[in-house]
Structure 1
């Protein structure tokens, strides 16, 4: 028996044909192929096929999420490492495909070097994916996720790796990098009327 790496070997295929459409006389049997391992006769799910799947980009989370962040303070980014499964066909064969996030690339929108990581990140105070802005202004963060894939063709038991990757993109809402200063005041800046020493301040 052939060693097909866990797949069930395919038996040789035979066929025969009627001599003509208006007769029940059949011709002799003839061998169509010699059988063998599924990997030798089944189609390959290529990187191009993989990239045509409707991969949903992971959600990009920014912390703090309030429309602005502080200059010279850590801005935290996180996402999810969630597999996606698909059912598709290739040349008449049913195929199961599993896509797995491999790397996450963050462009922080300020001209700094991209952050490339395999970690989906964690929220404060256990954060490991973050950026410190050193200039004021309006920015937007872009996340590019690189996906690896594996597939299994109906009638086989072995999962095969897709040779190549796919990418998805997500962006945050625009926000500003700001500088905030605090000072002592005689009362709460939320008081009515507002104390004179709170003029132009956002809080007490």
Structure 2
């Protein structure tokens, strides 16, 4: 989304510029901010973002933008229009009328908080990473003790969807989180990955065979999410986060055949 601003300040001590809706008394330019992807792909804005990192400041929205400006006609002076950057309109224009092409001023981190844009996907993702997502419980069957030759069944019966509403700079943002990947560490060096929470006996969709011993298994859950701002259209949160559930410890026993005399 292209942002428009009345003024963009010069770079501060940490390399950040600040966009504002407060224009100078006699503005020379109007400003717009576009992401590097919007500039590289004007139709879809689809590209792989670069690695440029902007400062994270609590309560502020700072992101990398290509800063563009367009000249504004200046007040007439003795019937003549004052030039901006050495270029004046071809004919007299009302003060404040834009003329000429948009030109790139710089690519820089810009604090756009004062423009009050809706939360960006990256901003929502930062909030998503801090949400109190549940730590799914690792369940196994049979509980406590199992037998060699009989697969151990893994599953979780914890909630796998969560809905949160958070306030981001005055915007109400609904975040719907869903457990999308389950990674089961079986405790014997094997890792099982699934896109389902597993089912208990008799279905037993996630199983593992063990040799005799004592093992501690655990479940790491990867969460994906969608979000909407002020009840608007849903969009994907651009990233995932994980939670680690409490481990489960159990023993696997070796059953042995013992011959007995039925007449004793």
TM category, shorter: 0.5 to 0.7
Count residues with an aligned counterpart: 153
Residue 165 of structure 1 deviates from its aligned partner by 0.2
Structure 1, unpaired ranges of 5+: 5-32, 35-39, 188-196, 198-204
Tell me, what secondary structure is at the counterpart of 1:46? helix
Distance across 1 between alignment mates of 2:248 and 2:194 = 22
Contact conserved, 1:140 with 1:171, CA < 8 A, in 2?
Answer: no
Residue 106 of structure 1 deviates from its aligned partner by 0.3
- TM-align CA RMSD: 3.2
Of the two structures, which has the highest relative contact order with CA contacts closer than 8 Å and spacing of 6 or more? 1
Q: Is 2:203 the counterpart of 1:126?
A: yes
Q: 1:175 aligns with which of 247, 250, 254?
A: 250
> Which residue number in structure 1 is paired with residue 137 of structure 2?
59
Distance across 1 between alignment mates of 2:207 and 2:182 = 12
Q: Is 2:225 the counterpart of 1:152?
A: no
Distance across 1 between alignment mates of 2:117 and 2:170 = 13
What is the 5 A alignment of 1:188-199?
none
What is the 5 A alignment of 1:93-112?
93-112=171-190
Contact conserved, 1:85 with 1:99, CA < 8 A, in 2?
Answer: yes
Q: 1:20-46, CA deviations, whole angstroms, 9 ceiling, x for partnerless residues?
A: xxxxxxxxxxxxx99xxxxx9311243
More strand, by proportion: 2
Distance across 2 between alignment mates of 1:159 and 1:115 = 32
Distance across 2 between alignment mates of 1:146 and 1:95 = 21
> Which residue number in structure 1 is paired with residue 216 of structure 2?
140
Q: 1:76 aligns with which of 153, 158, 171?
A: 153
Q: How does the TM-score come out when normalised to structure 2?
A: 0.51
> Which residue number in structure 2 is paired with residue 116 of structure 1?
193
Q: 1:89-132, CA deviations, whole angstroms, 9 ceiling, x for partnerless residues?
A: 112212111100101000001112x1100121112221110110
Q: How does the TM-score come out when normalised to structure 1?
A: 0.65
Residue 184 of structure 1 deviates from its aligned partner by 6.0
Residue 186 of structure 1 deviates from its aligned partner by 7.0
Contact conserved, 2:135 with 2:246, CA < 8 A, in 1?
Answer: no
Residue 48 of structure 1 deviates from its aligned partner by 2.4
Tell me, what secondary structure is at the counterpart of 2:248? coil
Structure 2, unpaired ranges of 5+: 2-30, 33-115
Q: Is 2:242 the counterpart of 1:164?
A: no
Distance across 1 between alignment mates of 2:178 and 2:248 = 25
> Which residue number in structure 1 is paired with residue 69 of structure 2?
none
Distance across 2 between alignment mates of 1:87 and 1:186 = 70
Distance across 2 between alignment mates of 1:121 and 1:174 = 18
